[in-house]
């Protein structure tokens, strides 16, 4: 007699699609804001010091925010149930660290407004991996394929327009720097697009995003620190550069904290609507990067009218492509293909398919204690706050021109996205 495995119930995708879309848009706002502090390279800091400063801030925030939201017991239980994902999280962090360092070089050489859309080609890489490895788009209707592939094509066209726009700014950007900046931004896009493989692998296995990023940051710091040591001349050289950069470290830590908020939203988008849809949607950070670069730092002021039109037009084309992809909601037939990928992970690692299906559907049973929290959780949060206060007391205003009015406006909009995105995630999933 043949015994059939129980059918795993999968929630209808519409409600989760809304959660994923909201998370993707909130991710765009905070990922865009996080790149603004990297403009400090214009104040004389080396890209490796900027990257190390941001990653250190990321490390502090990625241990603090999950502890505040879920507690150490819940995080430990999640990692204990899925230990095979620890190495994947570390690998993802390593890819992120190298890509982030490349973005600093790109911003230094071609500016934030131009570098941003070039590395956002990561959505094309992520779309490919999602289709190949995780059955995304499998079973979709023709109209859904048209939205996704049409959006992907728009992203490529937009990136080409923005790259071409640099040809009109040779008066302000040297030829060698322009080439380096474009290659660095595109290289970051490839690495970030590949980084989403561990993301999706974790979430179809039922891991909570807050647990994943806690281990993820070990790979980030473990990669960025050796890079800084090698290229800054060892421990002595690194100490000298960090001492010189002390007045700017607060802003870099703040950028890392903003990045963590954006990346957490991006993780939830990847979990609930897949990397093929969630990542392009989070790439609306291009609009925010353009706004910060143009309005706060005045990056477009020296460009010709034609170059400005190419930058703005290319950005709009890329965003239109990302929106088309994000609105291509997965039909029931594609959801069935996602379920096959989930069941494959369950068989491979001996996971309970019913429990994993509940976690994938935003119904993970939280084990956060309702009573008192252990003392070390308060110590972790207090330690993080103390680091930021100490750096803030030693901070000084960056030696670069900024429009503080527009900075306040963009910061206020980012806070609105944080509030709305956080509320939607809490009400629908309790940050599952």
| Model pLDDT for residues 77-115, shown as the tens digit of each residue | 889 999 999 999 999 999 998 998 898 888 888 877 778
The model carries a pTM of 0.86
Whether 222 is covered by a domain: the verdict is yes
Whether 1 is covered by a domain: the verdict is no
- pLDDT greater than 60 at residue 351: yes
Whether 92 is covered by a domain: the verdict is yes
Whether 263 is covered by a domain: the verdict is yes
Whether 6 is covered by a domain: the verdict is no
C-alpha 6, offset from chain centre: 36
State the total domains in the chain: 1
The angle at the Cα of 41, spanning 301 to 108, to the nearest 5 degrees, equals 60
The whole-number average pLDDT for the span 20-47 is 83
Whether 371 is covered by a domain: the verdict is no
- pLDDT greater than 50 at residue 227: yes
Q: Give residue-wise pLDDT tens across range 281-328.
A: 888 887 888 788 888 988 777 778 888 888 888 888 888 888 888 788
| Both structure tokens of 85 | 């994902």
- pLDDT greater than 90 at residue 46: no
Q: Across the chain, what does the average pLDDT equal?
A: 85
Those residues whose C-beta lies under 8 Å from the C-beta of residue 24, and which sit 6 or more positions away, are 265, 266, 269, 273, 277, 278, 281, 282, 284, 326
Whether 370 is covered by a domain: the verdict is no
The rounded distance, in Å, linking the Cα atoms of 88 and 249 is 29
Whether 111 is covered by a domain: the verdict is yes
- pLDDT greater than 90 at residue 174: no
Range of the domain at 400: 13-364+379-429
pLDDT value at position 353? 92
| pLDDT classification of 420: cutoffs 50, 70, 90 | very high
| pLDDT classification of 393: cutoffs 50, 70, 90 | very high
Q: Give residue-wise pLDDT tens across range 237-269.
A: 999 989 988 888 898 899 899 989 999 999 999
Q: How many helices (H) and strands (E) does the chain have?
A: 17, 0
pLDDT value at position 9? 45
Buried b (16+ CB within 10 A) or exposed e, 162-183: bbebbebbeeebeeeebebbbe
């Amino acid at each position: 007699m043949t015994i059939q495995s129980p059918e795993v119930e999968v929630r209808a995708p519409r409600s989760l699609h809304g959660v994923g879309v909201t998370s993707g848009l909130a991710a765009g706002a905070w990922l865009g804001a996080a790149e603004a502090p990297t403009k400090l390279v214009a104040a004389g800091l080396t890209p490796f010091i900027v990257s190390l400063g941001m990653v250190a801030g990321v490390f502090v925030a990625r241990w603090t925010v999950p502890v505040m939201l879920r507690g150490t017991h819940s995080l430990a239980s999640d990692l204990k149930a899925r230990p095979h994902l620890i190495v994947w999280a570390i690998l993802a962090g390593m890819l992120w660290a190298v890509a982030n360092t490349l973005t600093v070089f790109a911003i230094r050489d071609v500016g934030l407004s131009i570098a941003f859309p070039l590395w956002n080609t990561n959505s094309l890489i992520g779309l490919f991996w999602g289709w190949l490895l995780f059955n995304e788009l499998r079973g979709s209707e023709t109209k859904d394929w048209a939205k996704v592939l049409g959006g992907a094509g728009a992203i490529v066209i937009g990136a080409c327009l923005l790259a071409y726009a640099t040809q009109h700014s040779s008066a302000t950007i040297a030829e060698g720097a322009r080439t380096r900046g474009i290659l660095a931004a595109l290289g970051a896009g490839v690495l970030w697009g590949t980084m989403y493989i561990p993301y999706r692998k974790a979430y179809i296995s039922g891991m909570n995003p807050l647990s994943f990023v806690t281990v993820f940051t070990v790979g980030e710091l473990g990669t960025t620190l050796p890079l800084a040591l090698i290229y800054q001349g060892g421990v002595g050289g690194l100490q000298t550069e960090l001492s010189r950069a002390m007045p700017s470290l607060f802003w870099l830590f703040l950028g890392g904290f903003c990045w963590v908020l954006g990346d957490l939203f991006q993780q939830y988008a990847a979990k609930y609507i897949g990397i093929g849809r969630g990542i392009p949607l989070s790439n609306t950070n291009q609009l925010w990067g353009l706004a910060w670069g143009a309005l706060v730092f005045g990056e477009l002021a020296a460009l010709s009218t034609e170059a400005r039109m190419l930058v703005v037009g290319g950005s709009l084309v890329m965003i239109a492509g990302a929106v088309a992809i994000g609105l291509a909601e997965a039909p029931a037939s594609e959801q069935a293909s996602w379920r096959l990928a989930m069941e494959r992970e369950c068989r491979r690692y001996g996971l309970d398919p019913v429990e994993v299906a509940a976690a994938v559907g935003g119904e993970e049973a939280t084990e956060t204690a309702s009573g008192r929290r252990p003392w070390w959780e308060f110590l972790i949060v207090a330690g993080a706050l103390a680091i930021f206060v100490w750096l803030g007391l030693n901070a000084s205003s960056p030696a670069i021109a900024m429009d503080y009015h527009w900075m306040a406006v963009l910061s206020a909009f980012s806070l609105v996205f944080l509030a709305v995105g956080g509320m939607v995630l809490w009400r629908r999933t309790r940050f599952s």
